[in-house]
Amino acid sequence: MDVKTILLGFLMYGSMTGYDLKKFFSISFSFFSGLSYGSIYPALRKMEKEGLITMRLEVQDGAPNRKVYTITDLGRKAFAKALEAPFHFERQKNPFLTRLFFFAHLSKEARMNAAVGYLDSVKQVQEELEAARSKIETHADRYQYLSFQFGVRFFKDMVRNISEIVHALENEAKDPQE
């Protein structure tokens, strides 16, 4: 799903600032996508020009002014159209699998370091997802919660699969024929 559709989806819940949108994203499905401030604000400006959203400047005393974004009827229609459009499996880029394919060109130590480092980074994301569980369970609707549960299973499987690779590399290191 593209940035525009994600932002329109968030704005379906109500008016938000760019900061609110980033925060909403970080507690909802940042584990499955890489939206950043760098992509949010250009997309918001473009969506405003396209008439999909409006921006209202809130003047604040003693604090920076806030830009509050609201979805328009045209934006709601564009969001519904994007959400209803057929979609198919997208091949995911996975730098670990690409590197694993060429591990024969690394030393045993470098292979092990790469695999364990990647496993640790995936475990960290898994822990962050689990840390958000109570907030998600409290605030998520049925479909958001189904998405969360899918993510939990996804990261559990990732950890299991990478752990199997690490185990295979450990056994390789103990192979007396090498």
Reported as a single tens digit per residue, the pLDDT across 58-91 is 998 998 899 999 999 999 999 999 999 998 888 8
Domain boundary among 30, 63, 84: 84
Domain boundary among 24, 52, 84: 84
| pLDDT reading at 13 higher than 80 | yes
Domain boundary among 27, 52, 84: 84
Same domain, 72 and 123: no
Task: List, as one string, the DSSP characters of 135-172.
Answer: HHHHH--HHHHHHHHHHHHHHHHHHHHHHHHHHHHHHH
Same domain, 105 and 157: yes
Average pLDDT over the chain reads 89
Is 0.75 topped by the overall pTM?
A: yes
Burial of 44 (0-12, 13-18, 19+ CB in 10 A): buried
pLDDT for position 66: 93
pLDDT for position 34: 63
Same domain, 64 and 102: no
The answer as to whether 178 is a domain residue is: no
pLDDT for position 175: 52
Greater pLDDT, 154 or 2: 154
Tokens of 68: 């509050």
Which CATH number characterizes residue 20's domain?
1.10.10.10
